[in-house]
Chain A
Amino acid sequence: MAFRTPRQNAQGMGSAGYGTGHWWMQRITSIALIPLTLLFVFPFGQALGESHAAVLALYSSPWHALVAVLFIGVTAHHLMSGLQVVIEDYVHSKGWRTGMLLANTMICVALGAAGIFSVLRIAFSA
């Protein structure tokens, strides 16, 4: 038995079928990425091109590992929602669109998981 009125089911959902959640998550991840980018980029840039031992030494520090994990996780989400909008804007064929949106979700989640797993492995094995 449906307890919700039809109006309640429609309210705040918009024509896309869901609410402002996607837009709002983009803003939240944007704001989070301002400090995270500033904290992540410079140590990462310094580690790039260094020896394997130097890289392990840097990311075995809990501080740098935590910053890297947060940066990679939030970036993966931000990248996924951004690419989703681009695909929705430019890919009009239903089949291609669904396929690319699926691929986008899977690739971005996989990249985020791979990045976080790698940093944690470095951090915990040192």
Chain B
Amino acid sequence: MADVNRGDRPLSPHLLIYRPQITSMLSIVHRVTGVGLFVGFVLGVWWFFAAAAGPEYFELVDWIVTSWIGNLVMLGCCWALWYHFCNGIRHLFWDAGYGFELETVTKTGYAVLIASGVLTVLTVIVMLASGGSDEAAANGTAAEPAVRTASVASTPTGADI
């Protein structure tokens, strides 16, 4: 046809030609974490299924999920979940029509990175704290009545209840 200029026309810029920017990187990571969380969901459902199936099967699945490689995958999924969670909220604000200014987009982008890191560390702390509860259980039973009597004594209406 009249396509004489073939090969000499400007090409649509390819993805790889762009300098990495926080906006594009976070957008790509949102998709990657979304797809990656499929693995976490499979592991989580498998774990629940094993718990429902019985103690023997649970022992096997629990051993796999909490092995060092299982822990590594779960830690990655933990961060991926919080990242997708935080950046998802950022997306919802965009859907509602807020936060489109370049400066705001950059700021919220860094906020998402920081918040997802903080939430991951918080989750790990909560998990580790409960991990120690097995050993602390014996001490806990001794401490609990003391706390309870203290709270009853400090409440004047305690006698009515």
Contact = CB atoms under 8 A, between A and B. Distances in A.
Nearest to B53: A118
A49 B35 contact: no
Contacts, number: 90
A56 B55 CA distance: 10
Interface stretch (B6-14, B59-67, B101-109, B152-160): B59-67
Interface residues of A, number: 34
Interface of A is mostly: helix
B89 A34 contact: yes
A86 interface: yes
Interface of B is mostly: helix
Interface of B: 31, 34-35, 37-38, 41-42, 44-45, 47-49, 51-53, 55, 58-59, 62, 65-66, 74, 78, 81, 85, 88-89, 91-92, 95, 123, 126-127, 130-131, 134
5 closest residue pairs by CB, A with B: A46-B130, A118-B52, A118-B48, A115-B45, A121-B52
16 contacts: A33-B85, A37-B85, A45-B78, A45-B126, A45-B130, A46-B126, A46-B127, A48-B66, A49-B127, A52-B59, A55-B58, A79-B38, A79-B41, A83-B35, A86-B34, A118-B52
